[in-house]
Structures are given as C-alpha cells and as structure tokens.
Chains A and B, each alone.
Chain A
Amino acid sequence: MISNSFDPARSAERCRRYRRRVLEVSQRVQALHIATAFSCTEIVDAVYNGLKTDTDTFLMSKGHGAIMQYVVLEDLGVLPKHALDNYCTSGGMLGAHPDCGNPGIAASTGSLGHGLAMAVGMALAESVKGGGGLVHCLLGDGELHEGSTWEAVLLAASLGASNLVAYVDANGWQSCSDRTRDTHPALYPLAPKFAGFGWQVAQVDGHDGAAMVQAVRGRDGTRPMMLVCDTVKGKGVSFMADSVAWHYKRPKPDEFAAAMAELA
C-alpha cells in the first residue's frame, strides 16, 4: 500500500531486518544469492513500501534477487512464513528464482534479459485495458549485456509504455571475478544510453530509498522512466560489500554471526 511519506529511518530499520532474514535463510540452504539481494534491498523496499499501489505490478527481472523479494513479501503478509522456511527444499514453493503463480510473483524469471520485455507488455496491456497502475521492473546491470534487454529498451519508449518504471541495480559486478567496468567499459555511462532511447532517466543512490521514491514520484508520465540505481553488491555487511565472492557463497557459522552482529 502506498504511503504519502517515506520515512528513511523506518526504511533503514526494515532493510536491516530484511538482510538479517536473508542471512537466517542462508544457514539452511546452499542456494542463495546474498550479495545480489543486499545490493537491491533498498530498491525493493522503496518499491513495496513507498511506491507500489494495489493496482501496480512489480516484476523482478534479475531473478537471482528473488530472495529479497520473498523476504519483503513475507514481511507484507503476502507469503506465509512457512514458504520461506522451506525455501529451496523439496515440497516447498519457493526456488532460487521467481516462479509465476506463487503469491506476489508477477512472472517467472531467472534467465537474464527476459523481464523488461515482459514488463513492457504488461504496461502496454494496462493501457489497452485502461485503469491499470504502474509496472515496476527491477533489472540487474548484468542484464544490460543481453541484446534482448536493449530490444525492450528501444520498444518501451517507441510503443509508448509511459506507465513503466524500471530500476537498474548497478552494482558493477556479475557472478564472475571481473568488474563490469573492466569487462564492458563501453557500457558506461549508463544514464545517457537510456535517455537516448527516449526514457526519462534519473541516477540515484540505490541505497537511499527516500531519494528513489522522490525520483519516481516526480516522473513526468509521458514516457517510461529508468532509475539508474548506484549500488554496492553485498551492501550492509562490511566483509561482503563490493565483493563478488558472496554472489553465491554461504556464510559459515562464524561469518554468519559476524554479519548478524553488524546488522543488529
């Protein structure tokens, strides 16, 4: 439910809680993308707790960020607690990537470069039907390597998907050991590329929920909007921050304790 004010202090408290919940889950399963969940924590929080109305849709295109969406959906009462307690277990409903049909999940993703086109289709469908809300779509910056993402970038503005807001979680890493700035220097700067394709663009601190809420609320509504969110992979835990090692690694008991202490 949309709130008129977005309290940074309460957002910070929620995000600490969300990160702690992800770490709790990490102690029961092998498959978890902690660092990518931590880089998009404030973005997901800003959408669900600051922007999204009941008629809006949120689509997690960077499917490996699903654990953060699950935690927020659990917090909002959309997902029952047992769902996350049985994450990635046989007989449980939640896997490492979003599965359409689960409560609060708008589309199945996991293969990168799929979400933005689906979000464009959803936004256009809302226009055709009339009366729908905004479509919010969260992309990873690794998805900007995919040609299909750029097809969707081209088409969003060309087809008039003005009710679409996309967020790039620009943490500068993929799952491998090299920084994107080293492997794909031509990708930067990001913002002018989207602007060149007819999007309204804002570049914000992706860990400042209030700034993101303010930017989206200020959209002109005549074209799709892209928020380039500067983020830190593994944000919130000092030894995980800006380290690709925690893309898929499970914390050992002492690491878990240290991380939980930092997030106390």
Chain B
Amino acid sequence: MRNAFADTLYEIALADPRIVSIGADVLPGGKLPQLKQVAPGRFLNVGIAEQAMIGIAAGMALKGLRPFVYTMATFSLYRPFEFVRDDLCYQNLPVTVVGMGAGLAYSTLGTTHQAQEDLALACSLANMRVLSPCDPAETAQATRFCAANDGGPIYLRLGKAGEPDLTRGAEPFVFGRLRWLVRDGTDLCLLAHGPIMAMAFQVAERMRALGRKVSVASVHTLKPLDRAGIADVLGAFASVAVIEEHVAHGGLAAQVKEIAWDSQARCRLQAFCLKDQFIHDYGSPDQLLAAHGLSPDSICAALG
C-alpha cells in the first residue's frame, strides 16, 4: 500500500510541478525518493518536526503548490493536530495528510505508534475529507484523486505493506461513493475500509461456505460519507455488518448506525470495531486485532 502510494505520487509529480513530497523522518518507499534527483525542492524531509511539516505545507499551498505530507498516522495527524485544524482546515488548503500504518499496522511498536482513533479526529474537522483505501490498487486511485484536488485538505489513511489485491475486477473507484467489491444477493453485506478488508474477505468466504450469500463493499471515503449509498444497503439487505480497524466512536460504524436510525432501517446491523482501550500486547497486526476481539472466527460466530 505504501509503495502504491509512493509510486503513484512519483509518476504524478513528474508531470505536475505543483506536487511536493514532504516526509517527517520516514522514507515513503517505492519510487518517490527519486523525486529528490529530479526536483530537489519538491522532495523534502523535515525530520522529526511534524508541526513545522504541516505549517510548511500550508505555506506552500498558499503559494499554489500541492503538498503531500506523510509519516506514521500518529505523527502526521495526532502530534500536529492543531496545525492540521488551523493551518489546513481553517484555511481550506489543498494539502494531503497521509497517515501511514494507521490502525494497528505497527503492531510491535506499541500504542504510541498505533492510530486507532484517527478517523474520529479527522472526520470531526470542517473542510477535511477522509479516504481509507483497502488495497494497493485502490490506494493508487485515491492518491490520484488527492493529487488532482483543487479543494481543501484530505486525510489519506494507509496501511503499511503486504496488503493483498482485493479490488481487481471491481467497479471503478469514485470518490464519495461506496464501492462494490463483491455483490451477491441481499442476505448479508459487509462494509469495511482499509487493510482490514482482507479479514472481511476471509469472513465472507467462511459465511459463503455456510450457505450465506455475501456482498462486500469498500467504504473508502469516510468523509463525505456516501449516506445515500449506505441507506440503500441498509434498506436492501437482511443483515449488514461493519468491520473496522478503528474504535467504535467516530468512524464508519457509528455513522452507519446513525444512518440506520435516520433511514428507519429494518435490517440486522452489527459493528466489529477496536475496543476503547489501549492494548498492552505485541505480535502481528492480526494478533493485535484478535486481542481487540476481531478475528474471522469471532466475527463469523457473532454473525451467526
């Protein structure tokens, strides 16, 4: 996912002199570091100075450039949060804030490096738009959208590396619309976003083995959320489940429940989210998700 972002941005930056890459002591991976040779002024490493990173990006955007800032999500969004709010959102500037390794991707590094509530923060900000692609191909499409952006700021939530391709053959990516990856009947619909989509696919496979018809959609745009599309899902399916690598408040699950109430949905609605806790455990991302109660076994058991 990180390489898909970096390679895509590099290709765009070659053609668009407004694109600036600003990292905070993190290598973006892929081809993007080559930009330093092509256009040294448009590939910056500010070091461990995240507040200045946001401010510098704001200043560049005020002068007509299109900066992308990136580091681990905890440091690109949490550490400089007031700068994101005042410099980017208040001034409504076309800067993309990339949160790398969001959720529990940095599973061995502990809570200081895990962004389990970033969507609640990002979605709360006026003018901010929020994207959470689920695989490398969708990441490339989201990156292209961000680069063509002439509006305000975007928070682009990414995983880390090694995510499987899940969107091959799916309908086209459209900003602000949920995207059907699998569509089969009106029994059970799984709504997910980001790297945990891989687990949603595992759940879908198991439920199919149990005789259920399962559809899967990527809700890659968290803000503005496709409220009409989600209301349609809630109205059409007997069961809907949200699977999300984020706490239950402020992310997709809470908003789907809100839409269910507003649309007087009659379906069964379940949410599988991270606990409202800091987990003192290490290991692989899947092991940490399991510590939060999220695994194909637990979700399938709850879906019944």
Contact = CB atoms under 8 A, between A and B. Distances in A.
B63 A125 contact: yes
Interface string A94-107: 00000010000011
A155 B60 contact: no
Given A107-B91, A151-B49, 13 more contacts: A107-B87, A108-B86, A108-B87, A111-B86, A117-B51, A117-B55, A118-B58, A122-B60, A122-B63, A125-B62, A151-B46, A151-B52, A152-B55
A196 interface: no
Given A125-B64, A155-B49, A117 B59 contact: yes
Majority-rule SS of B interface residues: helix
Contacts of A117: 51-52, 54-56, 58-59, 83, 87
Interface in A106-129: 106-108, 110-111, 113-114, 116-129
Nearest to B56: A121
A51 B68 CA distance: 33
A118 B59 CA distance: 4
B265 interface: no
B257 interface: no
Majority-rule SS of A interface residues: helix
A60 B91 CA distance: 15
A110 B86 CA distance: 9
Interface of A: 100, 106-108, 110-111, 113-114, 116-129, 132, 147-148, 151-152, 154-155, 159
B41 interface: yes
Q: 6 tightest A-B contacts by CB?
A: A121-B59, A117-B55, A125-B63, A121-B56, A151-B52, A118-B59
B44 interface: yes
A148 B64 contact: no
Contacts of A129: 63-65
19 contacts: A100-B62, A100-B91, A107-B91, A114-B86, A117-B51, A117-B83, A118-B58, A119-B59, A121-B60, A121-B62, A124-B60, A125-B64, A128-B42, A132-B63, A148-B83, A152-B52, A155-B56, A159-B46, A159-B56
B90 interface: yes
A126 B63 contact: yes
B241 interface: no
Contacts of A114: 55, 83, 86-87
Contact of A107 (B54, B58, B67): B58
Contacts, number: 103
Given A114-B87, A128-B65, A148 B58 contact: no
Contacts of B289: none
B249 to A, nearest CB: 26
A147 B83 CA distance: 13
A132 B56 CA distance: 17
B150 interface: no
B75 to A, nearest CB: 13
B155 to A, nearest CB: 19
Contact of B82 (A108, A111, A122): A111
B59 A122 contact: yes
A128 B56 contact: no
A147 B51 contact: yes
Contact of B56 (A100, A107, A108, A120): A120
B20 interface: yes
Contacts of B46: 151, 155, 159
B65 A125 contact: yes
Given A100-B91, A107-B62, A155-B46, A124 B56 contact: yes
Contacts of A151: 46, 49, 51-52
Nearest to A123: B59
A108 B91 contact: yes
A108 B59 CA distance: 11
B57 interface: yes
B202 to A, nearest CB: 43
Contacts of A116: 55
Given A114-B87, A118-B87, A129-B64, A124 B52 contact: no
A42 B88 CA distance: 31
Contact of B52 (A110, A123, A126, A155): A155
A58 to B, nearest CB: 13
B258 to A, nearest CB: 31
Contacts of A121: 55-63, 67
A124 to B, nearest CB: 6
Contacts of B64: 125, 129
A136 to B, nearest CB: 13
A236 B254 CA distance: 57
Nearest to B82: A111
A186 to B, nearest CB: 21
Contacts of B44: 124, 159
Nearest to B45: A159
Contacts of B62: 100, 106-107, 118, 121-122, 125
Contacts of B51: 113, 117, 147-148, 151
B46 to A, nearest CB: 6
